[in-house]
Structure formats: structure tokens, C-alpha cells
């Protein structure tokens, strides 16, 4: 997604979500320089920013950063070293304030170009946490495309009443990716605005190619990243927001629109809901389970990740051999 994207740019992303206790000082009170330092550790920088009453949102040279009072979600692509950002990010809150940490790496097209492997990152995170939290690692999916996930939660940590949808797409239709070029900006904006109505969007078109957009609405955020490449094109989408309201409807609409527009050869859908599956008072990730026309389920997995109920669904086109 970088302005210096090469023919072998790595679209599949790494993701870090850190949540702190509700009585910790607000992360949004930190100056911009503190976040620049976190991003520099990962090898990313801010391209543009926006904010509302709930979130500070940043489009980055490599994907996005979202900061609320007590959580931060950092998504980076390319050859970024996201694990290096964890220590400076944790330092922005008091010791002992950590509630939950999620760290994911999507299977890369060019793993040999990455500075570390997932198992090395997981060992680094475990050492940083120093036994302060329950932790585990899991691989979601199988075959060529998968997600490696490290998750940790502090004993007795409060559960966040939010839900998250991720849609990860390998080998999207080249014509669909071309629609997100700068010279076709009005059409791209209209497509995203129709898919997630009511979100205030801010976009960036990269040179020579690539598109990122963040959106904010009523405590929710959305982000879409399109990485067209001669080989290894990739598209990712994320929607997060508080429980209730129109979010499940937004999620179903987004999955249907994304699959129809991009027609990827590989589609993975992840949903996170608070409370482990079947747990008392826990919303079910299954509420966001969707059937995708033209696609068949390869695998559907339930996991518990940092006290979230996680539903992972891997799909392929029904007509594929």
C-alpha cells in the first residue's frame, strides 16, 4: 500500500488490537508524537487522519490505525515489523492496565521478505507479557491461505461490548481492483458509501496503485484496503462497533457486496463477539455468520480468543475445481 509499492508488495496484513482497563487514562490524550513513535517502530507513518467523539482514525503508509479511549487497533501491510510496535504501545498505559491483546498475521504471498516469522513474534509477545495474561496461539484455516493468531487476556478483565467483522480476499478480480484507481475516485467513493451508509469516509489513493479508506459512525469504524498487483492482489475489510443497532445488517451487506464486487478466489470471514461461545451473557459470533452466494464453505471454526467468541469461515467459489 506504500507509495513506493513494488511488483512484489505484500498486501496481506498483520493486525494488533490492544485493550486496556476502563479506568486507565485515555489513549486519545497522548500527543500525536507518541503515536508517530509507535508507528515508526513498526515501519509505518501517517498519511491522513480524522476523528469523532469516539475514535481517532489514521490512514497509514501501510494500512490503518484506530485509537479510542481504551483500545488501539493497528493494521499494517508490506514488510512492516508490527511486533516492534507492541512495547511502545503498551508503554502508553500504566503497568497492569492491559485487558486484552490480539495479534494476527495473514498468510503472506512473499514470506521470505518478512523480517520475522509468526512463531518468533508470538515468542516475543509472550516475553513482553511476562506471565501477566492468559495466552495462546492458533492457526485459523488450512492450505495456502490461513491466519495465525496470538491472543492474551488478563485474569478478571472486563469484556468489551463490541463486535468485529473481517473480510480477507485473495486473488480479487483485476477489473474490480482497477475501479479503485485515483482517476475513478467518484465511483470508488460511491461504492464504499453505499456498502457502509452513514460513515464519514476519508480516503487515500496510492502511487502507482493501491487504495485505503477509513470511516467513522456512531462509535463504529470501517476500513477497506485494496492492493492490486501483477501477482498477489489482495483486499481486506474490517468493521468494528458496539453491540446492537444496525451493525449486523451492515456486516451482512458488506460481505455480500465485497464478494460480488471483487469475486475473490479465496474468501475468509472472521467475526469476534464478546464472551466465549455459549458463555453467560456473551453475544454469539454466529449472529454474523453469513452465506455467500456463489461460494462454498471450506471450513468453519469456532474459537475463544482473548475472551471473544471467534467464528472463522473459509470459502471458495462454488464453481472452482
Catalytic residue ranges: 10, 13, 63, 77, 212, 225
Residue 53 and residue 43: Cα distance in Å, rounded? 28
Structural contact between residues 193 and 250, judged by C-beta atoms closer than 8 angstroms: no
Residue 174 and residue 106: Cα distance in Å, rounded? 21
Structural contact between residues 64 and 47, judged by C-beta atoms closer than 8 angstroms: no
Nearest to 302 by CA among 281, 321, 275: 275
Residue 167 and residue 164: Cα distance in Å, rounded? 10
Structural contact between residues 165 and 243, judged by C-beta atoms closer than 8 angstroms: no
Nearest to 269 by CA among 247, 286, 246: 286
Coil, helix or strand at residue 165: strand
DSSP letters, 36-91, are HHHHHHHT--EEEEEE-SS-EEEEETTEEEEE-SSEEEEEE-TT--GGGGHHHHHT
Angle at 137 between CA 135 and CA 141, to 5 degrees: 150
State the residue for C-alpha cell 471454526.
Answer: 301
Angle at 92 between CA 135 and CA 219, to 5 degrees: 80
Amino acid at each position: 500500500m506504500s507509495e513506493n509499492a513494488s511488483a512484489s508488495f505484500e498486501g496481506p496484513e498483520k493486525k494488533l488490537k490492544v485493550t486496556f482497563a476502563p479506568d486507565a487514562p485515555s489513549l486519545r490524550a497522548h500527543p500525536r508524537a507518541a503515536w508517530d513513535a509507535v508507528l515508526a517502530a513498526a515501519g509505518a507513518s501517517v498519511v491522513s487522519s480524522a476523528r469523532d467523539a469516539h475514535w481517532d482514525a489514521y490512514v497509514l503508509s501501510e494500512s490503518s490505525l484506530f485509537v479510542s479511549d481504551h483500545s488501539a487497533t493497528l493494521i499494517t501491510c508490506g514488510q512492516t515489523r508490527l511486533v516492534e510496535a507492541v512495547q511502545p504501545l503498551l508503554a502508553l498505559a500504566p503497568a497492569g492496565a492491559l485487558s486484552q491483546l490480539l495479534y494476527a498475521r495473514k498468510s503472506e504471498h512473499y514470506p521470505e521478505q518478512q523480517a520475522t516469522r509468526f512463531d518468533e513474534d508470538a515468542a516475543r509477545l509472550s516475553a513482553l507479557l511476562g506471565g501477566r495474561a492468559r495466552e495462546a496461539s492458533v492457526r485459523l484455516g488450512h492450505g495456502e491461505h490461513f491466519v495465525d493468531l496470538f491472543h492474551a487476556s488478563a485474569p478478571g478483565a472486563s469484556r468489551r461490548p463490541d463486535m468485529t467483522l473481517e473480510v480477507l480476499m485473495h486473488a480479487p478480480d483485476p477489473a474490480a481492483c482497477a475501479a479503485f484507481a485515483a482517476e475513478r475516485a467518484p465511483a470508488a467513493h460511491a461504492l464504499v458509501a453505499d456498502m457502509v451508509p452513514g460513515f464519514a469516509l476519508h480516503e487515500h489513493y496510492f502511487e502507482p496503485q493501491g487504495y485505503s479508506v477509513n470511516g467513522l459512525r456512531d462509535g463504529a469504524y470501517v476500513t477497506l484496503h485494496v492492493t492490486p498487483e501483477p501477482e498477489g492482489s489482495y483486499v481486506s475489510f474490517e468493521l468494528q462497533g458496539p453491540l446492537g443497532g444496525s451493525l449486523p445488517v451492515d456486516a451482512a451487506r458488506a460481505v455480500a457486496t465485497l464478494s460480488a464486487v471483487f469475486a475473490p478466489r479465496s474468501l475468509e470471514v472472521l467475526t469476534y463477539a464478546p464472551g466465549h461461545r455459549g458463555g453467560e451473557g456473551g453475544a454469539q459470533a454466529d449472529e454474523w455468520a453469513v452465506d455467500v452466494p456463489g461460494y462454498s464453505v471450506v471450513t468453519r471454526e469456532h474459537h475463544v480468543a482473548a475472551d471473544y467468541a471467534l467464528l472463522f469461515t473459509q470459502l471458495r467459489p462454488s464453481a472452482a475445481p
